[in-house]
Structure 1
Amino acid sequence: MRRRRGAARAPLVAGAAAVLLLAGCVAGAEGVAESPVGEFPGGERPDYQLGGPYPPAEDVGIVVRDHREAPEQGRYNVCYLNAFQVDDDGEGHWADALLLLADGAPVIDPDWNEPLLDTSDAGTREKIADVVGAWIDGCAEAGFDAVEFDNLDSYLRSGGALTAEDNLALAGDLVARAHGRGLAAGQKNSAELTKRARSLGFDFAVTEECQHYDECGAFTDAYGASVIEIEYADQPQANLAEACSERGDTISIVRRDRELLPAGAEGHVAQWC
C-alpha cells in the first residue's frame, strides 16, 4: 500500500552484488543465505489489511497488518513496517538528524508526502536500525511470524543523495534483527533489487502490481513460491485473471482496493484466484 506507482522506476539491475552473509546464517545455494526461520507458506491465500484489520475469510492463510495492529490467531501473520521513510503518524520516533536533507529541508516522497530517512552514513543507519529494530521486537512479542519492510526503493526518490547500496546495507541489518527474533523477513517491491536483496537473507517478497507492470518474474526467479502478489482494483480485472493463470497454483495472489479498506466498508474489494 505504501508504495503506490507513479514515482520513477529503475530498470532491472543486471549485475550481481557481492554476497553478504548475515550473522547466524550460512551461505546456501547460488549465494542465498539460508534462513534460520520457518518456511514461508507460499501459495496460501493472502489478505493485505493495511487499511485496517478485520476478520479474514475462512480460507485465507496469510494476513498482513500494520505493526500497530494485533496478528490474527491461526494464520501466518506478516507485520508491516515503513522502514526507509517516515509515515504520517511516525514523526515522533525520528530525530531530525536521521532525515535526509537537501538545502536544509527534508527530502519528501511526493506520492505519500513522507520524509526520507538518511541511509547514506553507517552511523545514521545504525540509529535508524535501532528504531525499526524496536518495532521488529514488538512484532515478535505480539506473535507475528514475519515482517515486511517497505520503501526499500526510497533511494530512487532521493535526488541522487542515496544509493541502492545504502538501502541494502540498512536492509541487511534489519533482516538480521528479524531473524534474531525468529521472524521471516520480506522484501517489498523493488524488482530491480531482488537478486541482491535475496542474497542478504530476505525470505519472501511482497509485490504490488507486478502483473500490471510485467515484473513478476523478477520476484519468482529470486523467491520461488515465497511471493505475495497484490493487484489493485483500479487496474483492469484482467490483471488478476492473467496472474492466476500464470502463477495462481504457485504463489499467493490477491486483488484489493487501492485504499485497502476493511471488509464492510464501501469500496472494499478482496478477490482471489
Structure 2
Amino acid sequence: MTRTRPTGRPVPLLVVLLLLLTACTAGPDPDPKRPGERWRPKPGLAWQWQLSGRLDPTVDVPVYDIDGFDHPAATVTDLHRRGRKVICYLSTGAWEDFRPDAGRFPPAVLGEGNGWPGERWLDIRRTEVLEPLMAARLDMCRDKGFDAVEPDNMDGYQSRTGFPLTAADQLRYNRLIARLAHDRGLAVGLKNDLDQIPELLPDFDFAVNEQCAQYEECALLTPFVKAGKPVFHVEYELDVTAFCPEARKLGLSSMRKRYELDAWRRPC
C-alpha cells in the first residue's frame, strides 16, 4: 500500500510512518522523566538560587531553585527549554503573611517570629491542620511543572518557636513533607537540620545548606554525597577562597550569594 504526495510520486507507507515519528520526537526532551518517576540528582551539579529580583534565566547551570509562589508555570517551562531542572522553594515550617494562602492558617498554629519580617514558626505537631495546607502547596509545585521542592524552615525544634517542639516532632514532620513531595513525583531536599541527617538521609533526595563553612559544619553533610545525593550549598559572608577548596574536596555544589538571594552569584 502506498500514499502519494501532491507531486504524484508514491511514498512507501513505512517512510511516511518514519517521517511522522521523527516529527513527533524532534528536539530533546529537557525533562525526560517517565510517568511515576522523580528526578534523582547526583552530586556535583552547579546551581542557581534566586528568590528575589527579576529572574535571570540565562545562568548556564543545570539546576535552578526559585520561589514556587512567585513564578508561573511558563517560567518553569522556559527553564526546562533551556535544559534546567527547577526546584520549587516553599516555606513549610514557618507561616508567611504575604502568601496568598496565609489566611488559611489558624492562629493556634502560629508561633514566634523566626527573624524574617512577616514570618512566624508553625506548630509542626499539628499535622491534622498542616498536612492539607502543605499538600495544596506541593500540588501547586507539581502542577506548575517543577522537578523538586526545597522546603524551608525544617529545623524549628532547635529554635524558640513558642511551642515545645522536640527532635521527634521534627523528624515526623520532615518525613511527612518528604512523603507528600514524593507522592507527587517531586524530589525533595533537606534544608539545614544537620543534626538529623543520619535519620533523614533515606527520606530526602538532596540537601540545601546555608553557611556550613562559616560555622565549620560542612563535614556533617558528607553522608548525602556518599549516598550519591547532591548538597546545594551557599555562603554569604565568606569569600570563595575561604570555603571553595574544602567544598570541592567534600563534593559540595557551592557558591557565594547575597542574603537577598538575587541573581548575583559567585560559584566555586
TM tier, shorter chain? 0.7 to 0.9
Report the more deviating stretch, 242-251 or 184-193: 242-251
1:57-101 deviations in Å (ceiling 9; x for gaps)? 44211100111124222201111110011123133231223324x
Q: CA deviation at 1:38?
A: 3.0
Larger radius of gyration, structure 1 or 2?
2
Instruction: Say which of 155, 161, 186 aligns to 2:189.
Output: 186
Q: Distance in 1 between matches of 2:210 and 2:194?
A: 10
Q: Distance in 1 between matches of 2:118 and 2:86?
A: 28
Aligned to 1:22: none
- Alpha-carbon RMSD across the aligned residues, in angstroms, is 2.2
CA separation of 1:61 and 1:81: change in aligned 2, threshold 3 A: same
| Aligned counterpart in structure 2 of residue 208 of structure 1, from 187, 207, 210 | 210
Confirm or deny: 8 A CA contact 2:211 2:235 kept in the other structure: yes
Structure 1-normalised TM-score?
A: 0.73
The list of structure 1 runs, each at least 4 consecutive aligned residues, that deviate by more than 4 angstroms after superposition, is none
State how 1:210-249 maps to structure 2 within 5 Å: 210-224=212-226, 225-232=229-236, 235-237=237-239, 240-248=240-248
Q: State the one-letter code of the partner of 1:247.
A: A
In structure 1, the partner of 2:18 is none
Give the Cα–Cα distance (whole angstroms) in 2 for the partners of residues 46 and 226 of structure 1: 11
Q: In 2 relative to 1, CA 39–231 (structure 1 residues): closer, same or farther, beyond 3 Å?
A: same
CA contact (8 A) 1:185 1:203 kept: yes
* Counterpart Cα distance in 2 of 1:89 and 1:160: 23
Point out where structure 2 has 5 or more consecutive residues left out of the alignment.
1-36
After superposition, residues 102-117 of structure 1 pair within 5 angstroms as 107-117=112-122
* Structure 1 position 158, deviation (Å): 2.3
Query: What are the ranges of 5 or more consecutive residues in structure 1 without an aligned counterpart?
Result: 1-35, 101-106, 263-268
Give me the TM-score of the superposition, normalised by structure 2.
0.74
Q: How many residues align?
A: 219
Aligned residue runs from structure 1 range 1-273, under 5 A: 37-68=38-69, 69=71, 70-71=75-76, 72-73=79-80, 74-90=83-99, 91-100=102-111, 107-120=112-125, 124-155=126-157, 156-158=159-161, 161-199=164-202, 201-224=203-226, 225-232=229-236, 235-237=237-239, 240-248=240-248, 250-262=251-263, 269-273=264-268
Contact 1:116 1:158 in 2 (8 A): yes
What's the CA shift for 1:126? 2.7
**Identity rate of aligned residues, in percent?**
33
Determine which structure has greater relative contact order: mean sequence separation of CA pairs < 8 Å that are 6+ residues apart, divided by chain length. 1
2:233–2:255 contact (8 Å) kept in structure 1: yes
1:113 deviates by 5.0
Contact 2:39 2:148 in 1 (8 A): no
Cα distance in 2 for residues equivalent to 1:89 and 1:242? 36
